Structure 1
Amino acid sequence: MGHSQADKAATRERVLRIASRRIRTDGVNRPGVAELMREAGLTHGGFYKHFDSRDDLIAQAAAFALAEGTAKMERSAHKNDEDPRAGLIDAYLAKQHRDGPATGCALVTLGAAAGRGDSHFKEAYEKQVRTYLDLIAGLDDGGEDAHAEAMLTLSALVGAVLMSRAVADKHFSDELLKTVTDQLTRDDSRPVAA
């Protein structure tokens, strides 16, 4: 790749990284092209060297944001060698994740937009859901219920972070994270609280 091609690729990635953070904090409808390009240190006119349209940028930024989470999930799982599933749960339901939507899991922030999005957006979202399900199922002993357990776990993780960000009472938000963490990591030999 020539120097100018490498520069163009680096610039494109910088714009995608900025846009992926902005859509996770502000939603897919808010950041304008001029604003994103300014934040990247570029002019609005240079936008079309990298993207066909704003919709193209947003779709690519959403896919970028979704895919960025895979490495984070894998690192989280490996923080606890004794119980990788618990490590992943602890990291996902941490207050830092709740308080950092710009760099947090895009499944939480982009779910509603994906539900209203076009087929490409839905496919990118689905691909990430399936990737996480495989990752989580692989952390368990691989029993016949591993896929179903992974679906339940991922749904609880995404839902808990979404709700903990949406409520006004910080103590209640903390309680949501702690309770879901405790329930997902509880010893299965103990009875579940009613």
Structure 2
Amino acid sequence: MRYRPEHKAEVHQKIIKDASRRVRAEGLGGAAVAAVMRDTGLTHGGFYKHFENKDELVLESLRDAFAEIADTLTHAAEQARAGSGWKAIVKTYLSLEYCDHAERGCPLPALAPEMARVDPQMRGPIFVELVKYRDRMLPFMPGRRASERERAFFVIFSTMIGAVEVARMLPDRAVQEKVLATAREFLLSSF
């Protein structure tokens, strides 16, 4: 059977999307080749028509995860009043909806400890993705100078990442919301 010329690219993107959601929901090990390929309707052997190895799949899935959350946060910021884009980012990031769905959110609360322990060869490409993520958020951060916006980015995102990590550990929804609301109120009143 002959496939359309764009078929391979479409399948490749479907594999990436599935792996991206899996790693955020299950950790870096969640991108098990057999499971990802099965969910895509392909065999394990078909994997090597798309990727050199599992590390390549993981890196592409992280790239997709960072791009997806950056798109979501950028969209929220662009819908906000001028100068308050960062507030929209905070409100979007520190929501129960976002907290409940690690598979659709920022990879940092889900994977930061694992990413810190990856093979040294993967750290460089992951760092590149972190820089791209930061660069997409910087225009919306509070501050007049680039150095102020970068400082705000690190403070705001470190706080949000930690708050989401803690909230996701808690079994009680009311306590989760309290953690998120406290971080949200603190950030919104601090800049």
Give the deviation of 1:4 after TM superposition.
4.6
Please tell me whether the aligned partners of residues 156 and 187 of structure 2 are also in contact (alpha carbons under 8 angstroms): yes
Counterpart mapping for 1:21-170 below 5 A:
21-82=21-82, 83-139=84-140, 140-143=142-145, 144-170=147-173
Question: Could you report, residue by residue, the CA deviation over 1:60-87 in whole angstroms, capped at 9, with x for unpaired residues?
Answer: 2222222322211211212322521111
Q: Residues 185 and 130 of structure 1: is their aligned pair in 2 closer, same or farther, counting only changes over 3 Å?
A: same
Superposition RMSD on alpha carbons, in Å? 2.0
**Percent identical residues:** 26
Distance in structure 2 (CA, Å) of the matches to 1:121 and 1:68: 20
Give the deviation of 1:55 after TM superposition.
2.8
Give the deviation of 1:120 after TM superposition.
4.8
Helix, strand or coil at the partner of 1:142:
coil
Q: Which residue of 2 aligns with 1:192?
A: none
Q: Residues 128 and 176 of structure 1: is their aligned pair in 2 closer, same or farther, counting only changes over 3 Å?
A: farther
Give the deviation of 1:135 after TM superposition.
4.0
Give the deviation of 1:175 after TM superposition.
0.5
What one-letter code is carried by the residue in structure 1 that aligns with 2:27?
G
Helix, strand or coil at the partner of 1:145:
helix
Distance in structure 1 (CA, Å) of the matches to 2:133 and 2:34: 34
Q: TM-score, normalised by structure 2?
A: 0.87
Q: TM-score, normalised by structure 1?
A: 0.86
Helix, strand or coil at the partner of 2:28:
coil
Question: Could you report, residue by residue, the CA deviation over 1:100-153 in whole angstroms, capped at 9, with x for unpaired residues?
Answer: 111111122121121011345323433343334334442224235322122101
What one-letter code is carried by the residue in structure 2 that aligns with 1:68?
E
Q: Which runs of 4+ in 1 moved over 3 A?
A: 131-137
Give the deviation of 1:186 after TM superposition.
1.2
Which deviates more from structure 2 when the two are superposed, residues 152-161 or residues 29-38? 29-38
Helix, strand or coil at the partner of 1:51:
coil
| Number of residue pairs the alignment of both structures matches | 186
Distance in structure 1 (CA, Å) of the matches to 2:163 and 2:119: 26
Q: Which residue of 2 aligns with 1:174?
A: 177
Counterpart mapping for 1:12-27 below 5 A:
12-27=12-27
Uncovered stretches (5+) of structure 2, i.e. residues with no partner = none
Q: Residues 159 and 124 of structure 1: is their aligned pair in 2 closer, same or farther, counting only changes over 3 Å?
A: farther
